[in-house]
Structure 1
Amino acid sequence: MITPVRRVAALCALAAALAPLTACGTAQDTRAVRTTDSATAPAAGARNAAPTPSRTPAAPSRTPAAPSRTPTLAPGPAGLTPVFRNGPRTAGKTVALTFDADMTADQGPRAAAGEHFDNPGLITALRTLKVPATVFMTGRWAEEYPDQARSLGRDPGFEIANHSYSHHAFTDDCYGLPTVPEDAMRTDVERAYTAFRKAGVPSAMPYFRFPGGCYDQRALRAVSGLGVTAVQWDVVSGDAFATDADAVARQVLDGVRPGSVVVMHCTRSAAPTTEQVVRTVVPELRRRGYRFVKVSELIATAGGRR
């Protein structure tokens, strides 16, 4: 398909060539645990700022402060990055649709040859249906589609969150994705925020989704100084590489519960049915009494710190 930093610290996944984009784990895992789609944490002692780019360009190695009211989870044991999967089940029928805008660092030639890693039709559908959404974007995607990144980042209906720069895995054996060395993990996250800023995204959120959803304690520790919350999900849409939109819609509708986070993708070449799925599930969930919210609202409801 989870606290801000005083020192203003540096700054939906396509496994190499068509590998699935899903996995999840827990902050207590000692190795990566996988499910079926894509999902980090605030630093110890961090408050009222987040590793998000601002309108004023920052030094390449630092991340400007983010809005002070952005909710994040408190760090886990020993300051580990916290992980968020879903909101409270008893706080009303809310659901967050999240979309991974995946593009790996080496897919430029494929984009140049005509492959579409964007999905304007999906974004139009969300706007038409007035559905707020959280887009987990890779820095490479923002570089390839800067106008779209800027448009999403400045649209109050969306919030942009971090999905790494390279979309390389933060653990070994993550669906065939190349692996980020441990000493480069933090830099990869920071580099994505830099790409967002350069594209014109004014305030990316302090939320991070691990590529492939794969993480372990080592990865949580590596990014723990960034003040981000790792965001996973509790509903796997199954839209990655799917060709049966009705089957994907049924899977979403069967899985959603109050406070759910649904993981989908914003890449036409890898998730061609997602627009149709959204046009099916949104009116049905509304008929069932659900209200659509962004991840930030769910985290706030769950007691996130501001």
Structure 2
Amino acid sequence: MITLVRRRATLCALGTLTAALAALAGCAGETSGEVGRPAHPPASAAAPSPPAPPTLAPGPSGLTPVFENGPRSRGRTVALTFDADMTADQGPRAAAGERFDNPALVATLRRLKVPATFFMTGRWAEEYPAQARAIGRDPLFEVANHSYSHHAFTGRCYGLPTVPAARMRADMERAFAAFRAAGVERRVPYFRFPGGCYDQRALRALAPGGVTAVQWDVVSGDAFATDPAAVARQVLDGVRPGSVVVMHCTRSAAPTTERALRTIVPELRERGFRFVRVSEQIGAAGSVGVRG
């Protein structure tokens, strides 16, 4: 009888101790039955978002800023840029077999491990969505806006049709929408005017879009060129620290560019140049190369 009483007393004491421990743990938060372990662990901290691509401050009177080259004195960097041109009315030509893409050029950039910025028209992204998506997901590259239609934003621009001022921003936004629809991930808020033609009216029209307009200081001369050695020579003669080179990645309009790259890239590396995307140059530039 005494043994039974002692056993009951021991069990009672253990129950009291267990209850006390549970109550104590409850003060620290909900438990899952194991002291000190939360029933619903806090969600792990989300991975930090990548930093937004740098842009330049608006130009005078709030106009879209214009970037032409990176700093000349902050290392020997050079940005190769490639315009993926296709105008809104060239669909029939593509359907008939004309090629506005250049997979071999993209493959050469990858093989040589060359970062680059592609200025893509929305119409090009619609015609070649798989290629646009692959370029836009490759960490070597970034995709910038070259308008939707590749129509000029000024009059008298190499014979291109003209976008009315009231539709300029809509044309740019339509290109960004085409990139999203194609699954392009590495989109950057940079805009290149078709033909490089712009004026204050065009800069004013695009200002609410928050983009930086990107020009160049080295013309490759690859458009409709037939001699890759001449293209390479023109680039090599023109490049300086901080240069932005304009080239094309359309087979029908720039058939020699890929072959020229095979000379340009190793030669510039031999001279001590480092290839970068435009975003890196803009980030380093501050106010260098800005015009309003």
Is the TM value for this pair above 0.5? Answer: yes
- CA shift at 1:249, angstroms? 0.4
1:205-255 deviation digits (Å, cap 9, x = unpaired): 000000010000000000000000000000000000000110110000000
Instruction: For residue 78 of structure 1, report the CA deviation from its aligned partner.
Output: 1.1
Partner of residue 291 from structure 1, selected from 265, 274, 277: 274
Shift of 1:67: 5.8
Residue 280 of structure 2 corresponds to residue 302 of structure 1: no
8 Å contact from structure 2 (residues 141, 186) kept in 1 = no
Q: Which amino acid aligns with 1:78?
A: S
Alignment deviations for residues 104-152 of structure 1 (CA, whole Å, 9 cap, x no partner): 0000000000000000000000000000000000000000000000000
In the other structure, the counterpart of 2:263 is 280
- Which residue is equivalent to 2:68? 85
Matches within 5 A, 1:1-306: 68-303=51-286
Q: Which amino acid aligns with 2:150?
A: H
Q: Give me the whole-angstrom Cα distance separating, in 2, the residues matched to 1:201 and 1:265.
A: 19
SS at match of 1:184: helix
Structure 1: which 4+ aligned runs deviate by more than 4 Å?
Answer: none
**1:170-205: CA deviations, max 9, x gaps?**
000100000000100000000000000000012410
Unaligned residue ranges in structure 1 (runs of 5+): 1-65
CA distance in 2: counterparts of 1:135 and 1:274, whole angstroms: 14
Give the whole-Å Cα distance in 2 for the aligned partners of 1:186 and 1:68: 25
* Paired letter, 2:53: T
1:67 and 1:203 in contact (8 A); partners too: no
More helix by share: 2
Between Structure 1 and Structure 2, how many residues are aligned? Answer: 239
How much identity, in percent, do the aligned residues show?
A: 78
Code of the aligned partner of 2:154: T
> Could you tell me how far apart the structure 2 residues matched to 1:105 and 1:243 are?
26
Give the partner amino acid of 2:286. Answer: G
> What's the RMSD between the two structures over aligned residues?
1.0
Give TM-score scaled by structure 2 length: 0.81
Q: Would you say the 8 A contact 1:81–1:220 is kept in 2?
A: yes
Distance (Å, rounded) in 2 between the aligned partners of 1:238 and 1:156: 27
